[in-house]
Chain A
Amino acid sequence: SPKVPNPLGASIIAKTNTRPNLPKKKLKMEAIGVLMMCPMSAYLENELDKRFKLFRFWNQPQKEEFVKEKANSIRAIVGNASAGADAKLIDSLPGLEIVASYSVGLDKIDLGYCKEKGIRVSNTPDVLTEDVADLAIGLILATLRQICACDRYVRSGLWTKGDFKLTTKFSGKSVGIIGLGRIGLAVAHRAEAFGCPISYYTRSEKPDSKYKYYSNVIDLASNCQILVVACPLTKETRHIINREVIDALGPKGVLINIGRGPHVDEPELVSALVEGRLGGAGLDVFENEPEVPEQLFGLDNVVLLPHVGSGTVETRNAMADLVIGNLEAHFLGKPLLTPVV
């Protein structure tokens, strides 16, 4: 099989090129207004531009005026993990028919309101599951084995002065997962290859699961060494990682967040890490991205990533294809590829 193009070393984000699995025949949808909420993918932008009348929300200097002016022509919104569609925006776009999210998470979309108004919603499940799960394990290893700190150590010339300290073994450690959906299961499958016993918390026990179930997060945190957040962000799961859970995880415990920043009470997390009450953390998401608490910058037992869970060329292209595919399906009167509402 041909080697997959890999831009490692290249400095540009995604190359724009035609994808072979999209229909070649151009559908006459140039008049359909699509509102893209923020920059998310040059490739996606290009493909939307080719097919629809694309409005870039972030480029509009007077956003409220713009929305009023274009209200009737906008029939679709493309959002992502940073920006979606709240009730106010939905109300200001009477022609809105579909919100297609360039993400699997839906916390930026008022789903209930969409359902009420008969507005369709689609997301990008499955195509990003492996990348996010890979990153979770990458974060665990980077945090426990201090891989980033080791790299800094070598680059700063300190190795010639002395050896780096001992770190903590990953294989065989107990892993607790919050949320056992596609991503949670993929994390579990990978961690099992490292000999890790797996336990989980979900709203209700999964009868088919071979993993150990805990009916509340505190019990889960008390009984695992590595706690991974892999559930959707909802009203119920906001700050699901709070002071009590952090205390239960303890000074030898490690928190891995590949969910959403608001899953964690961030100030509590920061003080626990700074004070040594929590053993370490690997974080891909934060409460106010792109702001990251500076008190974490000096710690060797944390790894800080700029929300790159699905950040590979292969996956982002697949996600973009799904967004386009869902929009085209909708406007052609066909079933959505990955409907949510």
Chain B
Amino acid sequence: MAEQQRHNHLPKLLVLGISPVFRLHEQKFAQRFEILRAWETPIFTEEFQASHAPHVRAMLCWGGTPVTAEQLSHLPALRLVVTSSTGVNHIDLRECHRRGIAVANSGNVYAQDVADTAVGLLIDVLRRISAADRYVRGGLWPVKGEYPLGSKLAGKRVGIIGLGNIGLEVAKRLEAFGCIICYNSRKKKPSVPLPFYLDVCDLAANCDILVICCALTDKTHHMINKEVLLALGKEGVVVNIARGAVIDEKAFVQCLVQGDIAGAGLDVFECEPNVPKDLLELENVVLSPHRAVFTADSFGDCFEHISGNLEAFFSNKPLLSP
């Protein structure tokens, strides 16, 4: 009875699915909000509709739980969707806008970790770190001798696709390595003193390395296609820490297998957790299981950020990261 009373003081938060951040910080969330677990009482059930639907104004979701128009139709009181991810491609933004529902993402909390992953994957591909580590662990160093040489990073031209929070963090890091940075974005950024290319193919033709940091939208779906890859050329390297579907994966794998580009570092794929079998055979790719944001530090920061957004919402203050 006392617990029920305590719950009545806390704002209701519908949690659509168990995101990694939620799993890690569930107790902390429960201290600040009354948690309604959609996997225990699904939103379309009578129980939920009767008790909670009229009162649920805020929802927490993540990349693994799509927010569809159908779901939104069961939540008439909803005014805020918070996602623990940076990407919002899993949310029907048009429907949210139509219904007057605000959407907030993770803002900047992951940007550093994702940028770190991008740089880590790039150095790994150029200097063959994972492949050489396999070589040593396989006992091959005493047997086969010196490992094949890699490629120098300093002086390479890097094209960043999408110069948002993450793209800017990547640029800042790679400049310190002596890379020459240019970028492609929806629009040129006047405050950024880096060369801008409106056309991705042009960017690719003038770079040695592409780092994909853009959101997945209708426009960016399969934006990195065979034409772009051929423009990048046989010595080109691609790093993807955005979303798998920005790349035409089938064409990409073919280019790698045929040697039309030199190598790739990939944290994301079109059909995770499935990775094209051909990639598993290649020595010049580095594969990561969508872990760019997955550090304990980031998740702590993300919890604070999500809380911040929710608290702002419930106090009628501006959101931190709309």
Contact = CB atoms under 8 A, between A and B. Distances in A.
Interface string B108-136: 00001101110111011111111011111
11 contacts: A6-B208, A130-B177, A134-B152, A142-B129, A145-B295, A159-B273, A163-B294, A166-B296, A193-B175, A194-B116, A194-B173
B113 A315 contact: no
Interface stretch (A98-106, A112-120, A169-177): A169-177
A189 B116 contact: no
A178 to B, nearest CB: 21
B16 interface: no
Given A142-B124, A312-B151, 4 more contacts: A8-B150, A8-B263, A148-B134, A308-B147
B133 A304 contact: yes
A292 interface: yes
A154 interface: yes
Bin the interface of chain B by size: 35 or more
Contacts of B132: 305-306, 308
B288 A306 contact: no
A154 B116 contact: no
B147 to A, nearest CB: 5
A151 B113 contact: no
B176 A192 contact: yes
Interface in A162-186: 163-172
A150 B129 CA distance: 12
Contacts, number: 217
Q: Which range holds the interface residue count of chain A?
A: 35 or more
A9 interface: yes
A13 interface: yes
A291 interface: yes
A150 B141 contact: no
A138 B274 CA distance: 27
B318 interface: no
Nearest to A305: B132
A292 B273 CA distance: 33
B116 A306 contact: no
A322 B138 CA distance: 34
A138 B128 CA distance: 10
A151 B127 contact: no
A312 B152 contact: yes
A290 interface: yes
Contact of A13 (B148, B175, B176, B299): B148
Nearest to B133: A148
Contact of B127 (A4, A192, A311): A311
B142 interface: yes
B212 to A, nearest CB: 17
Contact of A169 (B235, B273, B280, B298): B298
Contacts of A169: 112-113, 116, 295-298
